[in-house]
Amino acid sequence: MKIETIICDCCGEEIPKVKKKDIFGIEREYYRLGKLNYGYPFNDINCRTLGLHLCDRCAGNISLEMYKTRVELCGGLTE
């Protein structure tokens, strides 16, 4: 089986792979894709469902930006 490499859509770096045992005790390789967190109820969004491949770091940065925008928007509404 060919080992596929996934590149981060944001920074262009390779997504690291991790080996984890699944519930049956079989070792499998997983991609350590970042998850987006826009705050409730949009926390823990899997990038893959959006067709995005993001590394942990970029997902973290994007989440932070989204969070800031959200806070600014909310702040603007209450003032």
Residue ranges that bind Zn ion, judged by CB under 5 A? 8, 10-11, 55, 58
Closest approach, Cβ 27 to Zn ion, in A, equals 26
Comparison of 7 and 25: residue with beta carbon closer to Zn ion: 7
Comparison of 36 and 55: residue with beta carbon closer to Zn ion: 55
Closest approach, Cβ 10 to Zn ion, in A, equals 4
The phi and psi torsions of 31 (rounded to 5 degrees) equal -90, 135
CB-based contact 6:34 (threshold 8 Å): no
Closest approach, Cβ 15 to Zn ion, in A, equals 8
Place of tokens 């997504």: 15
Question: How far is Cα 7 from Cα 54, in angstroms, rounded to an integer?
Answer: 8
Longest dimension (CA), the chain: 58
Comparison of 38 and 60: residue with beta carbon closer to Zn ion: 60
